[in-house]
Chains A and B, each alone.
Chain A
Amino acid sequence: MTTTASAPAVRRPATTVGSTRPGVRRRRSNVLTLGMLAFLVYFLLPLFWLLVASTKTTSDLFNSFGLWLSGDFSLFSNIRDTLSYDGGVYGRWLLNTAVYAVASAGGAALLAALGGYGFAKYRFRGNGALFNTVLGAVMVPTTALAIPTYLLFSKVGMVNTPWAIILPSLVSPFGLYLMRVYAEGAVPDSLIEAARIDGAGEFRIFWQVVLRLLAPGLVTVLLFTLVATWNNYFLPLIMLNDPSLYPVTVGLANWSSQAQAGGGSTGALLSLVVTGSLLSVIPLIAAFLMLQRYWQSGLATGGVKQ
């Protein structure tokens, strides 16, 4: 990929996030800040609980107050148990999730970038109609698609393979929309014209000039499709029945059903669900925090125009 981090040269109102608007200096409000702090507690409380719960054995989960540390600190033994349970199947699930998510997000972002640029910068018959058809497809319910897709895939023997997860995830109408809007703003026509006069072919222009300008939008689409696939539950639930192909979401749901069915007597399984949940959310949260500069400016474009 040529989307290096060196290209925020976009003519966008620089979303230097966090700074106040120049010229508008207001007094800081403590009341508002306090109110927002209360909401921050609400949004972070479940994650705090998850972190605390991951440090407890199953019996401590039942016998100690949920929102504070208690008993032995067993986070590391929980992690070890999670990773080694059932022949290390959890690690396999994480790996599957990563493979599905990266392949889907990479493919979807590339298709959306090519298509968005094409819709934004080229005039051809049916441009508007095709684009609107794609946008309208956002409203199709997932089941309306998943059931026939399952049947079609089972006819060609693709059910219970990674393709059954990756191929349907390659279509991102929202990604296409975002890339079109982004390409309109970020790619000057004069630049394309200049490259043409230099004798560059259309695809070479795209790879060498345009893609770099689209980088922040592309990272946005990449991240949001990454989240969509990473968090996907419905599609793998119906497409896969081999546990070694499960993504982490379906695997955890299965473990939690087993823990539920066995009640308290299933012993370790409950703490495995909790620890497994914690491990599964870390990569995405890390990705969002590290790439925030990009996706925030990328969204700034998509949300505004219509």
Chain B
Amino acid sequence: MTTNTTARRARRAGARQAASGYMFVAPFMMVFVAMLVLPLLYAAYLSLFKEQLVGGTTFAGLDNYRRALTDDQLVEGVVRVATFFVLQVPVMLGLALFFALALDSGVLRLSRLFRLGFFVPYAVPSVVATLMWGYLYGPDFGPFAQLADKLGFGAPKFLGDGLMLGSLANVVTWEFTGYNMIILYAALRAIPAELYEAAAVDGAGAWRTAWSVKIPAIRSALMLTLIFSVIGSFQLFNEPNLLQRLAPNVIDSSYTPNLYAYSLAFTSQELNYAAAVSFLLGLVIVVVSYAFLLVGNRRRTS
């Protein structure tokens, strides 16, 4: 057998392998293109046009984007979800990390019960979660209001202007802490035992081990939860959309950017402008996510 034929055979095997590879990924990629790439391109196209009462739809270049950047309603919405992110995500991920470490430490009783009990809210639809909390917050038959009433002081206005963002943050924290905990816990369980042995030899205690062995070892899982949280916060829609029905005076149609895009598209029929708004929102999410990835990776290499 000459090297020539071996090489040819290898090349033929490689080509066959490549063909099979394409076959395997083709179904996913086809649906991906049809349901994701195509609508995105269409939205990009739409965002460059303008619909007017007189003259119909005309090419507008970047006018929609220029308008969006100076649109107070949009800017306020983005600032609001950014505030939400700063308020809510550290609490949620901090709790999730603490719970995961506690479950992993082995010093906890009933750990199975905690693991499942904390995770259960994730299986509850956000619609139901928001309705429940909405009723719990409520002044009519919410137990907090009832208790406050009995004790003789006024119920806190959970659905009022001042507390609304906090109330929303609580609903989201309730829904997703357990989910993040499970991701982090799964990562902790997979840390190789050798790492612990080294720490044990050094005489490191539980806290010390958690801080200098476990947390660095699950950095990529932490990054994953952080990126998911960026996406989730900036896309906030379901919870405010439902609480809007309970407190229409506090949550207006541009409370979050997604809510704004939705009402632009389906209430005021400004489809072209809505496309530009949601594109800009996507850009914000990409930029913030990449910023976190960059900071995270730089820490790792230094």
Contacts and interface: CB of A to CB of B under 8 A. Distances in A.
Interface of A: 13, 15, 17-18, 20-21, 23-30, 32-33, 36-37, 39-40, 42-44, 46-47, 49-50, 53, 61-62, 65-67, 111-112, 114-115, 117-119, 121-125, 127, 130, 134, 136-145, 147-152, 167-168, 170-171, 176, 202-203, 206, 227, 230-231, 233-234, 238, 248-250, 252-253, 256-257, 260, 264, 273-274, 277, 280-281, 284-285, 287-289, 292, 296, 299-306
Interface string B173-216: 01001100011101101100100100010000010000000000
A248 B125 CA distance: 10
Nearest to A230: B125
A13 B195 CA distance: 15
Interface string B122-136: 111111110111011
B250 to A, nearest CB: 14
Nearest to A250: B127
A171 B221 CA distance: 22
Given A29-B108, A127-B21, A36 B28 contact: no
B36 A46 contact: no
Contacts of B286: 136, 139
Contacts, number: 308
A114 B25 contact: yes
Contact of A26 (B107, B124, B227): B107
A15 B128 CA distance: 32
Given A27-B107, A62-B140, A115-B29, A256 B231 contact: no
Contact of A299 (B22, B186, B223): B186
A138 B42 CA distance: 18
B117 A137 contact: no
Contacts of B220: 304-306
Contacts of A112: 28
Given A21-B196, A123-B17, 10 more contacts: A36-B110, A39-B114, A121-B21, A123-B18, A125-B18, A167-B34, A206-B24, A231-B127, A284-B124, A300-B187
30 contacts: A13-B190, A15-B190, A21-B196, A28-B107, A33-B108, A43-B177, A44-B117, A44-B120, A46-B136, A53-B135, A111-B27, A112-B28, A118-B23, A122-B21, A127-B21, A141-B278, A141-B285, A144-B40, A144-B281, A145-B43, A151-B42, A231-B125, A231-B126, A277-B128, A277-B131, A288-B120, A299-B183, A302-B186, A303-B184, A303-B187
